[in-house]
Structure formats: structure tokens, C-alpha cells
Structure 1
Amino acid sequence: MNQTLRVRQLEALMAVTTNGSVTAAAVDLGVSQPAVSRLLSDLEKSLGFQLFDRREGRLVPTQEVRYLLPSVERVLELMNQISDVSQDITQRKAGHIRVACLPGFATSHLPNVVAGFLKDRPGVTLTIEPDRPERILEWMIGEQYDFGITDSFNGHPAVESNNIDVRTVCVFPTGHQLENLSTIAPADLADCKLIHTRRDSDFFSRLSKAFHNVNATLNSHIEVRQFTAACELAMKGVGVSVVSELDAVQYASRGLSFRPFTPELPHTLSLVRPILKQPSLVTLEFIEQFKESLTPFAVQ
């Protein structure tokens, strides 16, 4: 075998084998008869044996070609698969995305976004890994994940960040007296047990300051790490909480009500990705779709 085989030569071989003539093969391939003859001639020289015998006006594959055909079929099938996959990649319909997120997001807002994104992209797969903000930052720096959803991000030279401020609301069980109010302020919560985020979090610091500024008492009852846990507890009547509206809406039909909280205390979400890791086209499209999903909840 003196020359490298070309896919077009193998396609000509299969077309003539199937049709029994160069004329019909040329029609199938959309090329001229001389072009098919040239492909077969070059292939025959490369392989070093005769490809066809002529019997009763038809070209019949030789025994050598019959032995070779299963391998040729596998090669052509693989080339078709590569072509289909590459087209899916170009159209953002194939690929794998590794997403790291806060634990609450894995069970609240993110699943809806993922379901909508995958609906018309059967070739796309995802890995979703929930963890603490500190671990998400480590993964981004180490380029272990393509995209991260976190908070409390203070910046890092190896990580690109897009911060989005999301509205916060006060959540409480359906039927609670707070339902009579159109907005809820710290003074309205003076007699309520409060479920809140960790005391060392930026959000709790700002919430405490809002109470302090109007001389209202913050009745700390339960400290949690995630807004989803606060929603679950509030839904069960354990207390009330101030959380991201993103999380609150997930419980709106499950016995939890909410009202806007004033003064405005936006919760900042950080959408992060490694700077030096070139994102795939489908990853960039997913990030954009996720950003768009936050628009109805973003502080204007």
C-alpha cells in the first residue's frame, strides 16, 4: 500500500459494489463517471489488488474486496458519525458541560434551566456538582469545571466573574398575618422568629444592619447555610426568613408565601468560570441562557 486511502475512494468502492456499475455509482455520489473510475483506479493501486470482475454487464466485487467490505462499512459509518457529531457541536447540540453550584441551586432554580436547555439538545450531557463557595472557587482555579454558580466571590486572577444582584423577599407560611402587608420591613418582624444565613456571611451582616438602623430587634432563631433550607423551615411554620426570590418562587405553590423586603437587600450571585480554560460553544450558550433565566429576578 503506497498511498494513504481516502474516504472518497471508499465511498466509490461501496457505491459501485451496491449498484453494480460506475454509471449508477456516479449518480449516487453526485460526481461524473470518469471521477468514479479515477477513484477506483487510485484505490486499486493503493491496495495492490483488483477490485471488481465484470460478469454479465455488472461489476462484481472480487473475493479480496468482499473480505475488505465489513471494515470499509465500519469506517464509513464512523465518518458519518463524526460528521453528525461535528455538526451538532457547531449547532451547540452536542458536548459535555461541568457545572459547580451552591447546594440550594442544585434543587431549586438550576434544574428548570437545565431541562429547558437540554430539550432541543439531545447530544448534550451535564455534570452538576453542588458544594460550598470555597470549594467552587478551588475548582474554577484548578479548571476542573466549566462554569460555577456561587456567592461571596471576592475575585481571583484565574477566575472570570459576572455578578448579578437578585431581589430578596420575606418568606412565611401561607395564612401568616404578614400576608396582609404589601411589603415587609424589619419593624414588621419584631415579633417573629427569624431563620437566617450564617452570622459570618455578608448577607446576614447587611440584614442585621437593616434591623439596627431602625432600632428593630432581630429575633435570631435558626441559622442555616442555604436559602432553600430557610424556605423549607419557614414553610413548616418554624419561623420567617429573608431569602433570594429565586428560591422563594420554588415554594410558592407548596404552602409558602412571600412579600418584597424593604430596604432592598439584594443577594449577589456570581457566575464564574476559569479564565485560561477556553469554554466550548455549548458551554457559552448555557451560561448565556442561565443569565437570561435570572433577568426576571434581577434588581433593575
Structure 2
Amino acid sequence: MTSILRLRQLEALLAVANHGSMTVAASELGISQPAVSRLLSDLAKEVGFAVYDRKDGQIVPTQEACFLLPSIRQVLELMQRIADVSHEITKRRAGHIRVACLPGFATSHLPDVVATFLKERPGVSMTIEPDRPERILEWMIGEQYDFGITDGFAGHPSLESSSVEIRTVCVFPRGHRLAGRDVVAPADLLEEKIIHSRRDSEFFGRLSSAFQDAHVALNSHIEVRQFTAACELVCRGAGVSVVSELDAVQFRERGLDFRPFLPRTPHVLSLVRPLLSRPSMITAEFMTSFLKSLNPYLECYPDTGL
């Protein structure tokens, strides 16, 4: 068999086998009876044997054709599945998204964004892989993930990136004396034990500069990698911290309170993706949704003159 069978020929044979009538088959397929007859005649020429007989006024598939019917059903079901999935993809209701992110994001802000996004798209699945920035960079360069959420990104020729500045706040246990302030500045933390991010992080560099510029010593107490870890420690009375408001809001119901920190010391998030790999429509839509979710945390700081 050197030629390629046409799907319409297979549909015609299956319809005739199901109904035993070319008239009914034609009605099901939405074509004329002669068109069905022609499709079956062409199919017989392609396969090299008769595909139907007439018996007691009905059309019945030949024994040889009966051997083909299970495979024909599988092919047609697969083609329908492809058509259905294609429709879902077009409507942004199907697909798979691979996201690499900072560990804190995997347990703080991202879950709400993902849950809302997937609730409206039941056919979409997702992989979320948290790790340190260095590892995320390796994954994105290797095109192992569609979208990365990281910080301290210095740029790479194979990656496209955009940066957003997230407002930071000073977090403290509920009932703390700092709750009486509208904003918190380094001078307000002179006697406080400070829980802060790693000393080699860009954010700690900016925070340290804010204290130096205010001529206030930063009373380092505990050094952590993640803002969520800092919030956990603050909830337990181990000190106070300056963290992204994205993380702070997750701990409100656990006895943590916070106020804007001044001078402005934003946490810079970098959203990265492979430059040469075009994102799928559903990935692009998720990236847009994620960016939109950050809007409440990009608002201006209170105007205090600092």
C-alpha cells in the first residue's frame, strides 16, 4: 500500500458498519449517498480488497474490513481528541506550564495566583520547582522551565527578563511598640534585634546601605535565606525584620504586624524566560496574570519626605 488513506474514507466505512445503510451513513456524515459509495470504492482500491458486501438488504463489512475496524475507531478517536485539545489550547484552557521560583514564593504568594489561574482552566497543569537563584538561572538557560521568578539576576544573553520592585515592610509581633508608627525607619530599629537576608544578597546590601546612610547600626541577630523564614522567626518573637510585603501579608493571621519601611528599599524581583523559546499561549497568559497579581505591592510609599 503506497498511498495514504484519507480520514473521510475511514469515517465512511465506520458509519456504514455501524448502521448497515449507506443512506443513514450519509446522513450522519452530512454528505450524499453517492459520495459515501464513492469513498468506499476509493478505499477498496487503496487497501486492495472489498470493504463491504450486501446481505439481506443491508451493507455489512467484509471479513477483511472487520479486521480494520478496531484500528479505524482508535484513529478517529485520536483525531477527535487532537481536535478537542487544539480547541482547548486555543481557548487557553489546556496545556502545561513549568515554573521555577524562589523557595519562599512556592509557599507564599504563588499558590494563590496558581490556584486562581487553574480554577478557571481545568485542562491546564503546572510544574512548580523552587530553588535558589543560581539553580533557577541554570534551568532557564537550559530551557528546562518556561518561566522563572528570581532575584539578583544580572542578565544573560540567552534569557529575556523584566524586573519589578516590590515594596518592603518592617514586620514585628502584634502589639509591638512599632505598631504605633505609620512607617518604620532605621532609627526606629536602633534597639531591635534584626533578622535579615543573607549578607551576600543584593537586598541585604541595599538594606545595610539604608542603615549606614541613617548612621544607625544594624543589629544583626539572625541571618536567613528566605523572607518566609524571617517571618516565621518574627512570629516566634525572635526579633523584627524588613521583608517583601508579598511575604508579610501571608503571616497576618499568625500574629504578625507590619508597617512600610523607609527609606525606600525595594525587593527587586526578576521574571525571566528563555529568549529563543517562544512561550506557549497559556504560559504567556499565566505570566500576565502573575504580573497583575503584583500590582497591589507596587504602590507608592507614604509621602513622609524620607
User: What is the TM-score when the length of structure 2 is the normalising length?
Assistant: 0.94
For 1:264, the aligned partner's letter is R
Q: Which moved more, 1:84-93 or 1:12-21?
A: 84-93
For 2:243, the aligned partner's letter is V
1:118-157 to structure 2, matched below 5 A, reads 118-157=118-157
* Counterpart for residue 17 of structure 2: 17
* Counterpart for residue 55 of structure 1: 55
* Counterpart for residue 160 of structure 1: 160
- Please report how far the alpha carbon of residue 234 of structure 1 lies from its aligned counterpart in structure 2 after TM superposition: 0.5
For 2:57, the aligned partner's letter is G
- 2: CA distance between counterparts of 1:114 and 1:198? 28
- 1: CA distance between counterparts of 2:274 and 2:12? 47
* Counterpart for residue 94 of structure 1: 94
For 2:176, the aligned partner's letter is H
**Cα displacement string for residues 74-129 of structure 1 (whole angstroms, at most 9, x for unaligned residues):** 11111111111222222222222221111111111111111112113233222211
* Counterpart for residue 71 of structure 2: 71
- 1: CA distance between counterparts of 2:230 and 2:285? 32
For 1:65, the aligned partner's letter is A
- 2: CA distance between counterparts of 1:90 and 1:226? 38
For 1:160, the aligned partner's letter is E
**Cα displacement string for residues 195-231 of structure 1 (whole angstroms, at most 9, x for unaligned residues):** 0111122211221222222222321101111111111
Quick one: percent identity of the two aligned structures?
67
**Cα displacement string for residues 265-292 of structure 1 (whole angstroms, at most 9, x for unaligned residues):** 1111000011112222211111111111
- Please report how far the alpha carbon of residue 56 of structure 1 lies from its aligned counterpart in structure 2 after TM superposition: 3.0
- 1: CA distance between counterparts of 2:34 and 2:120? 43
Secondary structure at the counterpart of residue 253 of structure 2: coil
**Cα displacement string for residues 233-268 of structure 1 (whole angstroms, at most 9, x for unaligned residues):** 001110000000000111111111111111121111
- 1: CA distance between counterparts of 2:257 and 2:4? 70
- 2: CA distance between counterparts of 1:29 and 1:175? 74
1:178 paired to 2:178: yes
Secondary structure at the counterpart of residue 126 of structure 2: strand
Q: Which moved more, 1:97-106 or 1:118-127?
A: 118-127
For 1:124, the aligned partner's letter is V
Secondary structure at the counterpart of residue 160 of structure 2: strand
- 1: CA distance between counterparts of 2:27 and 2:229? 66
Secondary structure at the counterpart of residue 27 of structure 1: helix
- 2: CA distance between counterparts of 1:267 and 1:299? 13
- 2: CA distance between counterparts of 1:132 and 1:76? 47
Secondary structure at the counterpart of residue 252 of structure 1: helix
Secondary structure at the counterpart of residue 204 of structure 2: helix
- Please report how far the alpha carbon of residue 2 of structure 1 lies from its aligned counterpart in structure 2 after TM superposition: 4.7
User: What is the TM-score when the length of structure 1 is the normalising length?
Assistant: 0.95
Unaligned runs of 5+ in 2: 301-306
- Give the superposed CA RMSD: 1.4
- 1: CA distance between counterparts of 2:56 and 2:202? 87
For 1:46, the aligned partner's letter is E
- 1: CA distance between counterparts of 2:299 and 2:155? 21
- 1: CA distance between counterparts of 2:294 and 2:51? 62
For 2:108, the aligned partner's letter is S
Q: Is the Cα contact below 8 Å between 1:171 and 1:257 reproduced in 2?
A: yes
Secondary structure at the counterpart of residue 238 of structure 1: coil
* Counterpart for residue 304 of structure 2: none
1:253 paired to 2:244: no
Unaligned runs of 5+ in 1: none
* Counterpart for residue 221 of structure 1: 221
- 1: CA distance between counterparts of 2:30 and 2:264? 67
- 1: CA distance between counterparts of 2:283 and 2:188? 44
Secondary structure at the counterpart of residue 273 of structure 2: strand
- 2: CA distance between counterparts of 1:69 and 1:174? 71
- 1: CA distance between counterparts of 2:255 and 2:71? 62
Secondary structure at the counterpart of residue 272 of structure 1: strand
For 1:261, the aligned partner's letter is F
Q: In the superposition, relative to structure 1, how do residues 220 and 2 fare at CA in structure 2: closer, same or farther (>3 Å)?
A: closer
**Cα displacement string for residues 12-50 of structure 1 (whole angstroms, at most 9, x for unaligned residues):** 111111122111111111122222121111111112222
